[in-house]
Amino acid sequence: MVSKREHSLSDMAGLFDTHCHLNMEPLSRDTGGVLERAFSIGVERLLVPAVSEDNWDVCTELSFLPGISCALGVHPWWAEDGVDVEELKSKIISSNAIAIGEIGLDWKIEVSRQRQLTVFQKQLELASEMDIPVLLHCRNAFEEMLELLTRFPVRGTVHGWSRGSQLMDRFLQIGLHISFGGAITRAGCKKARQSATQIPSNRFLLETDSPSIGLAGVPTGQSEPGHIAKIAQVMADLREVDFEEIKSSAWSNSIQLFGDEC
C-alpha cells in the first residue's frame, strides 16, 4: 500500500473533495484509476465518510493512501443498528479520522425517527466531547436537526446542499459550513444554485458525494472525485469569479475545518 504523505497541505490550495465514497462500487473496483484521474486534474485531498460500523475498517484502510482522510460514523439509514459510542471513539482515535460522519436525520426512509434522533444525538455529543467536525446528512428533517444542533453545538458541514438560501442561513448562523456538489451543475436545481451565489466565501466546501450523486452529464453511479473540477467551475460561473478564486476559497475553508494533515 502506498504510504501517507507526511507534509503539511496548508499551502497547496488544490481541490479538496470533502465527501466521496471510495469504498462503494463502482469506485471500489478501480481505486487506483479513480485516484489517478482525480490527482491528474488537481485534486490534492479527499475525505471518505463511512455510513455504518461495517465499513469503518475499510474507510480507515483507504485513509492510509496518499491524500485521503476518513470520517467514521453511523448514517441514519443504518440507525436501527444503533451506535456504540465508546467503540466509535476508540476507532476515531486509532484511525486518525478527521470527522464524525456521515451522520444525520432522514425522514424519507422507514427507519424509526426516534431511533434516528437517538443515534444522531449520541454522535453529536461525542463530536462535542472530542471537538471533531461532523458531516451532516439531512432530508426533510431540517427543523429537527436545527433544534438538536442548537442543543448540541458542533463544528462541521451540511453536505450535498440542495435547498434555498433562507434555510442555509440558519445553519450558517450556528457556525456550520455548507458543502455544494452535483446539484449546482443542473440548471433545474434553482434553489441550490441560488444558495451557491449567496453563501459567504469563507463558508462553503465542495464535494462529489460520488458515486451516490451525479451531475449534469454524469449519471448517478458514474460520478467520481475527478468531477470535483466541474463542480468548482460551475460554482465560479454562478458567482461570476475566476475558477482559481473558488479553488482557493474552498481549499482554505476545508483546511480550516478539517485541519492540514492527512
Looking at the predicted structure, is the pLDDT value of residue 207 above 70?
yes
Note whether residue 119 is domain-resident. yes
In terms of residue numbers, what domain contains 225? 15-258
Burial (Cβ within 10 Å: 0-12, 13-18, ≥19) of residue 110: exposed
Kindly report, residue by residue over 216-249, the tens digit of the pLDDT.
999 999 999 999 999 999 999 999 999 999 999 9
The enclosing domain of 182 has a CATH number of 3.20.20.140
Amino acid letter, 123: Q
18 close to 207: Cβ distance less than 8 angstroms: yes
**CA–CA distance, 38 with 211 (Å, rounded to integer):** 14
Helices of type H across the chain = 31-40, 56-62, 85-95, 113-130, 142-151, 165-173, 190-198, 228-239, 243-258
For 208-216, what is the mean pLDDT?
96
Domain contains 6? no
Of 63, 42, 13, 71, the C-alpha closest to 255 is 13
Helix (H) or strand (E) holding 12: none
The whole-number pLDDT of residue 11 equals 46
Share of the chain above pLDDT 90, in %: 93
In a domain, 9, yes or no: no
- Please tell me the distance from the alpha carbon of residue 181 to that of residue 160, in angstroms, as a whole number: 6
* Overall average pLDDT of the 33-58 stretch: 96
Flag whether 2 is in a domain. no
Provide the grid cell at 36: 489517478
pLDDT, the chain, mean:
94
Question: What does the pLDDT look like over 77-128, one tens digit per residue?
Answer: 999 989 999 999 999 999 999 999 999 999 999 999 999 999 999 999 999 9
137 near 102, Cβ under 8 Å? yes
* 222-233 exposure pattern, b = at least 16 Cβ within 10 A, e = fewer: ebbbbbbbbbbe
* Residue 157 located in a structural domain: yes
What pLDDT does 261 receive? 76
> Which pTM was predicted?
0.93
**Residue 7 within a domain:** no
Is 228 part of a structural domain of the chain? Answer: yes
Supply 212's cell numbers: 451516490
Which pLDDT band holds residue 260 (cuts at 50, 70, 90)? confident
Number of domains in the chain: 1
In a domain, 3, yes or no: no
Residue 4 has pLDDT above 50, yes or no: no
Which of the four pLDDT bands, split at 50, 70 and 90, describes residue 59? very high
Radius of gyration of the chain (CA): 17
Average of per-residue pLDDT across 26-48: 96
Q: What is the pLDDT of residue 198?
A: 97
